[in-house]
A and B are shown apart, each in its own frame.
Chain A
Amino acid sequence: MTTKGLALLSYGLLFLTIGAAAALAVGDWSNQVRQARGREFQQLVGGLGTGPAVSLSGCGFSFDARLSAGCQFDLEPIPGGVYFCPEHGCSILDCSPLRPRSVEHQPDHALLH
Chain B
Amino acid sequence: MRYFIEIARTGLTAVLLHPLRSVVTAVCVVVLMLPFLVGLALSKGVEEEARDSIRFGADLYVSGDQFGRRVPVPLEAVNRIRKIDGVLEVTPRIVGSVVLGVENENAVLVGMPVERFPPAVNCVDGRLPRTGNRNELVVGAELARRLKLHVGDLLPPFYHNPKGDRISEVVGLFDSDVSLWQARLILTSFDTAAEIFDQPGLATDLLVECRSGYQESVTSTIQRGIAFSQGPANAAIRTRVTSREELQATLPAGVLHRGGIFNLHFVLAFAVGIPVVLVTSGLGLPERRREVGILKATGWQTDEILLRSAVESFVLSLAAACIAILLAFVWLQWLNGYWIASLFLNGVDTIPALRVPFHLAPVPALLSFLLSFVLVMTGTLYSSWRAATVAPIEAMR
Residues of A within 8 A of B (CB): 2, 5-6, 9-10, 12-13, 16-17, 19-20, 23-24, 26-28, 30-31, 34-35, 37-58, 62-69, 83, 86-101, 105-108
Contacts and interface: CB of A to CB of B under 8 A. Distances in A.
B286 interface: no
A2 B12 CA distance: 10
Nearest to B259: A94
Nearest to B262: A92
Given A9-B315, A58-B346, A92 B142 contact: no
B52 A107 contact: no
Given A26-B329, A42-B179, A100-B240, A68 B187 contact: no
Given A52-B46, A90-B262, A44 B315 contact: no
A19 B333 contact: no
Nearest to A97: B250
B313 interface: no
Contacts of A65: 242, 247, 250
B343 interface: yes
Contact of A37 (B47, B177, B361): B177
A27 B326 contact: no
Interface string B172-192: 001101111111110100000
B235 interface: no
A55 B123 contact: no
Interface residues of B, number: 106
B73 interface: no
Contact of B260 (A5, A28, A44, A88): A88
Contact of A93 (B252, B319, B354): B252
B53 A23 contact: no
Contact of A92 (B43, B97, B184): B43
23 contacts: A17-B318, A20-B326, A20-B365, A23-B360, A26-B329, A28-B360, A31-B359, A37-B175, A38-B49, A41-B174, A42-B55, A45-B187, A47-B207, A55-B108, A57-B347, A66-B57, A66-B205, A87-B346, A88-B260, A90-B343, A91-B260, A93-B47, A94-B259
A50 B53 CA distance: 7
B16 A66 contact: no
Given A49-B49, A91-B260, A34 B355 contact: yes
A11 B45 CA distance: 32
A60 to B, nearest CB: 8
A69 B205 CA distance: 13
Contacts of B347: 53-55, 57
Contacts of A105: 220, 223-224
B249 to A, nearest CB: 7
Contacts of A97: 250
B91 A92 contact: no
Contact of B346 (A30, A42, A47, A52): A52
A96 to B, nearest CB: 5
Given A40-B122, A46-B57, A54 B180 contact: yes
Contacts of B178: 37-38, 40-41
Contacts of B319: 12-13, 16
Given A20-B326, A98-B250, 14 more contacts: A9-B15, A16-B323, A27-B41, A30-B333, A40-B121, A42-B53, A49-B179, A54-B184, A67-B205, A88-B260, A90-B344, A91-B261, A94-B252, A95-B250
B280 to A, nearest CB: 19
